Structure 1
């Protein structure tokens, strides 16, 4: 009788390892055989050409018999993997290892990416932290630490190290929002020596130290970071970190507690700002409070994740509910693509705000117009349930769909006479935009800024 074997667990983050039922296996593989297997695992299901394998194994300077040597390595891999039900298939002029056809086998890099993707779109901070915890627990070191050098690591997947730092930063932000500053210190202090260049992580540690009553240490951390940036990169700390430093110096009471969402509405597990602008393009600008101060007030950006952006677009009726669900699901599968789309949306928001608040800002208008033209090319005219036609971005826009929807709305506003009635809230920590055809409103909302500062 044949027995069902436990699946293999491949560990590529850190030293290469293959495990089955808690026991180390495939110990006899040579270094280049481990490297070849890792390449096939990283591109599971896809054919990797012999030429590419040769280029990777010998850093583009192969010996004369490289092709024959690769065939030999593949033969040895097949023999080693056969007992575990893992075939290495020949496909055209290359090879493929498809884990999808082998039940239960796992690769830590794939799990790492999946968990980070799910964390990035999680609406609940506790779930976000749990997902990031699972992902970061898989990190045992750089990709194939005992097999390849940094140059080959960059060629295989140079983004993994940055993805880890992003996960550390996003987890720390979620922990601080939950009041878990002691957890932030426990997680980040052992990594202090490698985080000087990541100002977001330095800021998280500084905030956690301050909340733990260790103000002097928070200031010392800033000075060490400033000296490191000056010596190694020839730059000063960025605006956000410099502002945090000033707030620690002045013992700003807002640092003593997690920032609570003010004037917010809960939509599909996301906190979104009140709708006060009177137009989708203005509401998009109003997803960022604190416009009047540069650098920005920490905690004032409502678009913290791509999921928030997608949910916001649905809330403003710029995208259908089904489209939002598809965007969130895709963002979970492609976290780096989602992060890039979110960054592009934030940059568009900055340019749009400048364009709307200063009609003479030609560079800002040009930037907005460029995205609006792209949005127009990606739009279709659809009939809504109200009997009116609406321009909507096509699904082909991918994760840029919310951006294109906002750009279309911005273009409509810029051609509308109402554009001349836009006002900016004068509150020191606001700056939201709103329409005022009467010319009598001063604050963005009579029940928030106006009520709180009516005597000013």
Structure 2
């Protein structure tokens, strides 16, 4: 059975609305049990909430009567209310409560790093919100007591979705979603900062700066405090037209392949591009949003994007990962280990342990390679698809071995800014800047270094 509490109270069975509880107070008692589904709710708490601390003398008898009627109406749908001590428990197995699902989706979205997945989860969560909690059932006083945590969670979900939408270039959508909300919550700084960023990206710099001034005035006049550090930083960057504001917390350039957000190819070799799936190598932890290698599907799509496997292989790998997510996650962890060792190997020729680790990966890959014909009639070594989900790891390891055996490894450069660290080949010896501008520094401020020579000194 499905219960909807976010908005008018509804009970549904097989998609159809069913009548549960003939009186408003009965439905209110049911809702209070559903808000703590699977947990004990004491009779005293039900009385205190239902009558807001001023119960009539017959309150205990009334609660007992309400529970009896609810049990009778819920029996046909397999919903059970159990008596435990001086209280009741609504058994939650097999039933769906929108509040519980809303909490789960927002919490899940808070830990994912892929902005597309985060938007998808939060769209599902926010779609459950049909209005104020128990809009037609609870009294205003009760709703205010119950709804505080849910209102905060909803605002947090909106903020998380807006940030993810900005990362996907959806600033117009963010402006539309947040403008009225900021009027409703004018001193909620996270909302204001996100809306200012969206306005700036939409070429509305003056509107963004005006919003800051209005918000600062409200904070100072109403509360007596200045804006917080994040809001001040967004304001400062807008004044400076700082290009990092275009993609806060993640590298500047990206491409989309099969709905996956991938780094732009600028390194000059697949092994370098693999290392560049993580910007901010010097940061611990890395910069928020800098991790490109978010999931196995991203790894498989990226491997095809740089030409290490063909499109047919990518489709097969994606399907395999969908059928065996645990194995796919283990291979992704293995790929990240390879990436860390390869980066260390390329940036420090003296790191024998890192070189030996990459060599073991390469030797394992060599045992799976097959020599096949290209469309142009030539031949090339490719990882055998019989290796299953490990194909991308083998492909990258073989590419890494190829680079480590090539004199071009001596021309690998890295941006010295610890917030960046991207690698690229520079056979001319003339490039002195980070082509991604991920670190936000100009060539005049920070020239890039030749990795091999820097380490040799």
Question: TM-score normalised to the size of structure 1?
Answer: 0.56
1:55–1:62 Cα contact (<8 Å) kept: yes
When residues 28 and 87 of structure 1 are mapped into structure 2, their CA distance, relative to the original with a 3 A threshold, is: closer
**2:225 is equivalent to residue 239 of structure 1:** no
Aligned partner of residue 159 in structure 1, secondary structure: helix
Among 45, 55, 62, the alignment partner of 1:62 is: 55
Among 191, 194, 206, the alignment partner of 1:216 is: 206
Per the TM alignment, residue 431 of structure 1 is displaced from its structure 2 partner at its CA by 12
When residues 229 and 23 of structure 1 are mapped into structure 2, their CA distance, relative to the original with a 3 A threshold, is: farther
1:49–1:94 Cα contact (<8 Å) kept: yes
- Residue 173 of structure 1 aligns with which residue? 163
Per the TM alignment, residue 177 of structure 1 is displaced from its structure 2 partner at its CA by 1.2
- Residue 192 of structure 2 aligns with which residue? 202
Show the 5 A alignment for 1:6-45: 7=1, 9-26=2-19, 29-45=22-38
What is the alpha-carbon distance in structure 1 between the residues aligned to residue 224 and residue 56 of structure 2?
A: 42
Structure 1 vs Structure 2 CA RMSD:
4.1
2:20–2:74 Cα contact (<8 Å) kept: no
Per the TM alignment, residue 13 of structure 1 is displaced from its structure 2 partner at its CA by 1.2
- Residue 349 of structure 1 aligns with which residue? none
1:14–1:140 Cα contact (<8 Å) kept: yes
- Residue 43 of structure 2 aligns with which residue? 50
Aligned partner of residue 10 in structure 1, secondary structure: strand
1:14–1:139 Cα contact (<8 Å) kept: yes
1:178–1:258 Cα contact (<8 Å) kept: no
Show the 5 A alignment for 1:44-443: 44-100=37-93, 102=94, 105-149=95-139, 152-153=142-143, 155-156=145-146, 158-257=148-247, 260-261=250-251, 274-276=280-282, 284=284, 287=286
What is the alpha-carbon distance in structure 1 between the residues aligned to residue 137 and residue 182 of structure 2?
A: 26
After TM superposition, the structure 1 stretch with the greater mean CA deviation from structure 2, 125-134 or 180-189, is 180-189
What is the alpha-carbon distance in structure 2 between the residues aligned to residue 77 and residue 231 of structure 1?
A: 51
When residues 20 and 190 of structure 1 are mapped into structure 2, their CA distance, relative to the original with a 3 A threshold, is: farther
Gapped runs of 5+ residues in structure 2?
Answer: 254-261, 264-275, 296-325, 330-415, 422-437, 449-457
What is the alpha-carbon distance in structure 2 between the residues aligned to residue 258 and residue 249 of structure 1?
A: 15
Tell me the number of residue pairs that the alignment of Structure 1 and Structure 2 aligns: 299
- Residue 347 of structure 1 aligns with which residue? none
Aligned partner of residue 99 in structure 1, secondary structure: coil
2:244–2:252 Cα contact (<8 Å) kept: no
Q: CA offsets, 1:154-204, max 9 Å, x none?
A: 654632111111111111111111111122123223423223222111111
Per the TM alignment, residue 302 of structure 1 is displaced from its structure 2 partner at its CA by 6.5
When residues 73 and 28 of structure 1 are mapped into structure 2, their CA distance, relative to the original with a 3 A threshold, is: closer
Bigger RCO (CA 8 Å, 6+ sep): 1
Is the radius of gyration larger for structure 1 or structure 2?
Answer: 2
Q: CA offsets, 1:41-85, max 9 Å, x none?
A: 111122222122112212232221111111011112112222322
What is the alpha-carbon distance in structure 1 between the residues aligned to residue 169 and residue 42 of structure 2?
A: 50
Q: CA offsets, 1:252-287, max 9 Å, x none?
A: 333345653389x99xxx9755554xxxxxx637x4
When residues 275 and 191 of structure 1 are mapped into structure 2, their CA distance, relative to the original with a 3 A threshold, is: closer
What is the alpha-carbon distance in structure 1 between the residues aligned to residue 284 and residue 240 of structure 2?
A: 32
Aligned partner of residue 284 in structure 2, secondary structure: helix
What is the alpha-carbon distance in structure 1 between the residues aligned to residue 143 and residue 4 of structure 2?
A: 15
1:179–1:258 Cα contact (<8 Å) kept: no
When residues 169 and 95 of structure 1 are mapped into structure 2, their CA distance, relative to the original with a 3 A threshold, is: same
Question: TM-score normalised to the size of structure 2?
Answer: 0.56
When residues 215 and 171 of structure 1 are mapped into structure 2, their CA distance, relative to the original with a 3 A threshold, is: same
- Residue 341 of structure 1 aligns with which residue? none
2:174–2:195 Cα contact (<8 Å) kept: yes
What is the alpha-carbon distance in structure 2 between the residues aligned to residue 60 and residue 125 of structure 1?
A: 45
What is the alpha-carbon distance in structure 1 between the residues aligned to residue 61 and residue 84 of structure 2?
A: 16
Aligned partner of residue 22 in structure 2, secondary structure: coil
